[in-house]
Structure 1
């Protein structure tokens, strides 16, 4: 891994192969490691965190990867938080780091929170973007905001299937996501569409895999509730959220930031679900300030 940007296939302990990219790789491996997790299992890919965190490659080794069940990685389960956390641990060891900075966006934030509670001693810093701590209420709030929005016209039954993890097949999953795309961006009265950037959530080659999404929302979400354990996270934490995020509203990030002892909350007033693409200059400034002052 001597090149500045390397792409590798890394095999997990159960034989599943993950598509992994390291940005800013140095031959000595002397730079600190930052691992960033994408959101939207079964849809999003490493293109999202690469676009958001790639600018740090001169200071960090930025490791991004397609989680199992997403992108170019094997579509082999189990698609559970415990298994995804173990995959992170294997990648950390593969990269040769005892400690690192972990970033998680949207669904990746759920995994990051669970990792921080389980392996907090491994973390130098934690970065959470547009996520929630209560998997029972979070999807219901997102669905309610979608169904009451005047920005999208949706098939109600299909949205219920999407957010309950019961999509019929890959096409049903794809149609469910595609019909709600406008709600991921800031409203037009805040930022005119012609001035909006493509959401990092859907950058790269998009491939819809409903089995991963279904497992995430039908099996994982009902069990995910870390609110009472947030106080256990001692690592410096940056919590980022868009003011106009209707998937993981500001109140969700406020709850997380208020409960983690050493957390800093930053609300992006002109952003929806993706501040890195909605307000990229501010995102880079806030992130760099946090890394410089807290890590």
Structure 2
């Protein structure tokens, strides 16, 4: 079912489409390019697809499918917000686009979503691209160094961020708060890049964020998850930014567990490496995708 949301890219115009889930939630989605089918899973939880520039980088080697998760961005703002529902929604996207097999690419929390789907449905996944994730150990193992790195990267912006964090915020202040926080995710020009992330602005779904993060604490880092990763035969590319404030050693738990994995660390790049090092990102991911044809 088509809807009226044109999205301009560098060379084409994508027409947004509507994926309807089995419980009636309408998910925004779009696709562009030619080649191996790739489905992108955005981070958060509670954010929205910010991968227009990534799609432009890859559209000559892949058909890139983007979507907003339920409750996020241009999709219906309705729960429930659970891991099982997120996985079912991703399956609805695959079925809507008629993909027998796909490469899954996930960023940050979306990398966890892509990984979990690949573990559950290896027959539908020809490859996994795990971008700026945090591995499969509990979050507590890396949270403290992440917070120290965040404060150091924020520098003089930290006081204003802390002021906004500690009180109720207007919509404009909500956007300012997020831009300030996201600015720490870049090695250079953080505020400029974070403004790009927030444009257009759809508002963060904090209810979704809280619900799924609470479930993460109960299910992530288990011995069962490690065992499932050791048995996973899906070819995987891990892509990191060297200067991501989330410590890169946290990803070792996943890299050490997967039997078919390669890893690329991009120098002088942060949490969104395709933004700061687009040519290097395109080369690394493009090489991986050409082997999935």
1:33 maps to which residue? 37
Conservation of the 8 A alpha-carbon contact between 1:42 and 1:212: yes
2:182 maps to which residue? 181
2:205 maps to which residue? 209
**What residue ranges of structure 2 are gaps of 5+ in the alignment?**
3-11
Conservation of the 8 A alpha-carbon contact between 1:169 and 1:210: no
Of the candidates 114, 117, 127, which is equivalent to residue 115 of structure 1? 117
Query: TM-score, structure 2 length as denominator?
Result: 0.82
Of the candidates 272, 275, 285, which is equivalent to residue 274 of structure 1? 272
**Which segment is superposed worse, 224-233 or 208-217?**
224-233
Change (3 A) 1:78 1:134: farther
Q: Between Structure 1 and Structure 2, how many residues are aligned?
A: 275
2:5 maps to which residue? none
2:9 maps to which residue? none
Change (3 A) 1:61 1:170: farther
Tell me, yes or no, if structure 1 residue 265 matches structure 2 residue 263. Answer: yes
Q: Secondary structure at the match of 1:153?
A: helix
Change (3 A) 1:221 1:64: farther
Distance in 2 of aligned mates of 1:12 and 1:100: 19
**Which segment is superposed worse, 51-60 or 142-151?**
142-151
Conservation of the 8 A alpha-carbon contact between 1:103 and 1:109: yes
Change (3 A) 1:102 1:38: same
Tell me, yes or no, if structure 1 residue 18 matches structure 2 residue 39. Answer: no
Distance in 2 of aligned mates of 1:283 and 1:200: 21
Shift of 1:114: 0.9
Q: Secondary structure at the match of 1:96?
A: coil
**Which segment is superposed worse, 217-226 or 274-283?**
217-226
Distance in 2 of aligned mates of 1:270 and 1:218: 32
Conservation of the 8 A alpha-carbon contact between 1:185 and 1:274: yes
Conservation of the 8 A alpha-carbon contact between 2:106 and 2:113: yes
Change (3 A) 1:180 1:5: closer
Tell me, yes or no, if structure 1 residue 250 matches structure 2 residue 245. Answer: no
Shift of 1:118: 0.9
Change (3 A) 1:217 1:290: same
Distance in 2 of aligned mates of 1:257 and 1:197: 32
Of the candidates 127, 137, 140, which is equivalent to residue 134 of structure 1? 137
2:158 maps to which residue? 153
Tell me, yes or no, if structure 1 residue 42 matches structure 2 residue 46. Answer: yes
Query: TM-score, structure 1 length as denominator?
Result: 0.81
Distance in 2 of aligned mates of 1:149 and 1:197: 15
Conservation of the 8 A alpha-carbon contact between 2:45 and 2:209: yes
Shift of 1:237: 0.6
Distance in 2 of aligned mates of 1:279 and 1:242: 9
2:230 maps to which residue? 231
1:164 maps to which residue? none
Of the candidates 83, 86, 91, which is equivalent to residue 84 of structure 1? 86
Distance in 1 of aligned mates of 2:22 and 2:243: 41
Shift of 1:174: 4.9
**Which segment is superposed worse, 210-219 or 220-229?**
220-229
Of the candidates 50, 53, 57, which is equivalent to residue 51 of structure 1? 53
Summarize deviations over 1:237-293 as a string: whole Å, max 9, x none. Answer: 1100111101x3211233322221111110011101111001001100111111123
Q: Secondary structure at the match of 1:208?
A: coil
Q: Alpha carbon RMSD of aligned pairs, Å?
A: 3.1
